[in-house]
Amino acid sequence: MEERVLKPNLGDYREEKEDDIVLTERGFQKLQEELDNLKNVKRWEVAKRIEQARAFGDITENSEYDDAKHEQAFVHGRILEIENILDNARVIREEEINLSQVTIGSSVRLEDVERGDEMNLRLVSAAEARGDQGCISDQSPVGKAIIGRKAGEVVEVQVPSGVLKYRILHIER
């Protein structure tokens, strides 16, 4: 496996261009692990499936072969996507996360103003938000509402059912 080096944080997140790829160290590592698994495990599993499906004979009407070829294309596409993200990412190190306001990498405790419910969220970039529990994208409605805000502020989030109000209780790394 080729080693990728964490790129230094080159300034405040808010100074970056909108299309820059920003990752936390944890997100960078998770993507590296996913890439390693896709290249060294999944790709070979799919190749074996294709080989087995070919052994059944005529591939023109072989649904197992078609399915395996589609999976192969998906795996190849995801490998290219992750490599592009990792090659172009700007990594925010844990110690660089600003505690005075919500930024990518912040863990935030929010209170639903109307119901009093509290929740913990971790704000990450859209490239990092793939299925992580408790992580929300900076491009999500809540993410857009809280980024750059300070503890104690109340934010409004427009959702299909109306407007939700959240108070930012606490910001940490």
Q: Which domain holds residue 26?
A: 19-92
Which of 37, 66, 92 represents a domain boundary (last residue)?
92
Total domains present in the chain: 2
Q: Are residues 87 and 107 in the same domain?
A: no
Q: Report whether pLDDT(6) > 70.
A: no
E-assigned strand segments in the chain: 21-24, 89-92, 107-112, 118-124, 135-137, 154-159, 162-172
Which of 48, 74, 92 represents a domain boundary (last residue)?
92
Percentage of the residues of the chain whose pLDDT score is greater than 70? 87
Residue 6 located in a structural domain: no
Q: Are residues 128 and 68 in the same domain?
A: no
Q: Are residues 143 and 165 in the same domain?
A: yes
Q: Are residues 23 and 81 in the same domain?
A: yes
Which of 92, 120, 136 represents a domain boundary (last residue)?
92
Residue 14 located in a structural domain: no
pLDDT tens, position by position, 50-81: 998 888 777 777 888 999 999 999 999 999 99
Q: What's the half-sphere exposure (Cβ side, CA atoms, 13 Å) at 42?
A: 17
pLDDT band at 155, cuts 50/70/90? very high
With beta carbons less than 8 A apart as the criterion, state whether 109 and 120 touch: yes
Q: Are residues 107 and 78 in the same domain?
A: no
Q: Report whether pLDDT(96) > 50.
A: yes
Q: Which residue has the higher pLDDT, 111 or 132?
A: 111
DSSP string of 16-45, one letter each residue: S-TT-EEEEHHHHHHHHHHHHHIIIIIHHH
Q: Are residues 117 and 154 in the same domain?
A: yes
